């Protein structure tokens, strides 16, 4: 199938046609995250705390899948742009095979570490029990998650954004439907509590993978995934992992950040751990739609870079930055105007709502400038330059924010952690734009 439209169509309409389906699917995905947490919080506050503590490892599984998927995506888009079909086919096939292997390793590793991991942050036996129960079920779907994300990135690399939107939304919607049924026991389904939330999540992910396989069968992709193309190609694997490993670390660093901040905040009370967990659930409603634009941009940048269209690459970056900043502005206004309403979705405790409202208002100060960092990271990944992208994420998730959070918390208490967010985003925005300009020459 001819993909030259990626370098021929006017840039803004092309970017919107690629990005809007992903923005819509990401908004549904973020809605699922919020609704999932909303129903879990209805069990009790300990259930929400357990979910918050499990989240970093859950995010790690997604990070490995998405990070490696970005490597597949960038490599396929580049070879299609360079008119090297066989290399694109081999990239897709090796990507699926390696994703399966990653899923197996993640299933074994994450389930094994959870009892020890959770005990680092709480001694509450109910929280520990709920966290272990939830993680064992959800992490048992790691192979499904890895394969689903691999197909998502392959579909995106060839411009099949509407199909990707449908597949992602189908899984999220099933999860939203199953949550109240399986958590509280509606109709013939018994009340399962937090186990029900875990099963609803896993079954939603399974439906997403099945949908991708169905669409790949009824309408073959421009790249062929087959045993014939399963060839060991050291140079090709190196190219995929050169983008995939930094992209994985980009996302995995947020897990390290959350766990580290949990450790800092736990000294001030379990309430602050819950507030941080709620913030990251609400954050998905802002960052996932922005990430949808990035996902629309990434294959376009990769294709045009492979085709030698440097001016289009820079224009794609600029348009994506403006669109992302608009989404983040809307998020800032929401957190400033109705923080209490947002917190009220997850707790009815006045003290928690008051402290959480303060946290949201402070953190949201950095939302708009963060669009520079996330756009730059996505653009660099599309260019196949994972190491510069990793440098930006290291600033956002470790080098700057962790020392800031620790020092400021010692000066002004837990509020200092919230201030560390916007200070870090402002500094990283300058660094990230500079890195992108140098790497994209």
- Condensed to tens digits (0 to 9), the pLDDT of residues 116-170 reads 999 988 888 898 999 999 999 999 999 999 999 999 888 888 878 788 888 988 9
Percent helix, percent strand, percent coil in the chain, to nearest 5: 85, 0, 15
Of 271, 247, 278, which Cα lies nearest the Cα of 62? Answer: 247
- Its pTM stands at 0.71
Q: State how far the Cα of 372 lies from the Cα of 431, in Å rounded to an integer.
A: 10
- The residues, any chain, with a CB within 8 Å of residue 398's CB and separated by 6 or more, are 253, 256, 257
In this structure, are residues 409 and 354 in contact, taking their beta carbons and an 8 Å threshold?
Answer: no
pLDDT for residue 112: 94
pLDDT for residue 433: 92
pLDDT band at residue 3 under the 50/70/90 scheme? low
25-51 confidence digits (pLDDT tens): 767 766 777 777 888 888 887 888 888
pLDDT for residue 273: 85
pLDDT band at residue 388 under the 50/70/90 scheme? confident
Please compute the mean of the pLDDT values over residues 98-113 and round it to a whole number. 94
- The residues, any chain, with a CB within 8 Å of residue 277's CB and separated by 6 or more, are 48, 49, 51, 52, 53, 55
pLDDT band at residue 5 under the 50/70/90 scheme? low
**With pLDDT > 70 as the criterion, what percentage of the chain qualifies?**
97
- Top-ranked range on mean pLDDT: pick from 27-41, 71-85, 371-385: 371-385
């Amino acid at each position: 199938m001819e993909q030259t439209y990626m370098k021929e169509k006017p840039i803004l309409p092309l970017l919107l046609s690629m990005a809007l389906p992903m923005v819509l699917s990401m908004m549904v995905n973020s809605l699922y995250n919020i609704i999932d947490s909303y129903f879990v919080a209805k069990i009790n506050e300990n259930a929400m705390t357990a979910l918050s503590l499990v989240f970093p490892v859950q995010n790690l599984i997604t990070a490995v899948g998405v990070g490696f998927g970005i490597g597949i995506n960038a490599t396929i888009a580049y070879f299609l742009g360079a008119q090297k079909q066989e290399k694109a086919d081999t990239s897709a096939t090796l990507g699926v095979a390696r994703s399966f292997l990653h899923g197996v390793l993640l299933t074994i590793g994450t389930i094994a570490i959870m009892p020890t991991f959770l005990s680092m942050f709480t001694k509450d036996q109910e929280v520990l029990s709920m966290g272990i129960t939830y993680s064992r079920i959800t992490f048992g779907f790691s192979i499904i998650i890895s394969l689903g994300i691999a197909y998502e990135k392959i579909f995106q690399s060839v411009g099949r954004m509407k199909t990707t939107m449908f597949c992602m939304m189908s899984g999220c919607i099933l999860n939203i439907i199953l949550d109240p049924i399986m958590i509280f026991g509606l109709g013939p389904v018994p009340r399962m509590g937090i186990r029900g939330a875990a099963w609803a999540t896993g079954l939603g992910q399974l439906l997403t993978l099945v949908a991708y396989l169905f669409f790949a069968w009824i309408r073959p992709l421009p790249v062929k995934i087959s045993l014939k193309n399963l060839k060991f190609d050291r140079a090709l694997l190196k190219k995929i992992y050169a983008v995939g490993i930094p992209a994985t670390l980009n996302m995995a660093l947020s897990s390290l950040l959350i766990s580290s901040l949990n450790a800092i905040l736990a000294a001030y009370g379990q309430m602050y751990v819950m507030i941080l967990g709620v913030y990251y659930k609400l954050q998905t409603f802002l960052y996932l739609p922005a990430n949808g634009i990035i996902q629309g941009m990434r294959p376009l940048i990769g294709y045009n870079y492979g085709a030698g269209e440097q001016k289009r690459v820079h224009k794609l970056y600029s348009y994506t930055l403006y669109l992302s900043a608009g989404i983040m502005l809307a998020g800032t206004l929401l957190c400033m105007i109705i923080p209490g309403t947002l917190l009220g979705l997850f707790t009815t405790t006045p003290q928690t709502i008051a402290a959480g409202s303060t946290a949201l208002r402070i953190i949201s100060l950095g939302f708009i400038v963060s669009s520079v960092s996330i756009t730059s990271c996505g653009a660099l990944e599309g260019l196949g330059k994972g190491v510069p992208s990793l440098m930006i994420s290291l600033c956002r998730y470790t080098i700057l924010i962790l020392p800031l959070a620790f020092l400021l918390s010692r000066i002004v208490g837990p509020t200092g952690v919230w201030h560390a967010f916007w200070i870090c985003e402002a500094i990283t925005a300058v660094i990230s734009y500079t890195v992108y300009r140098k790497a994209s020459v």
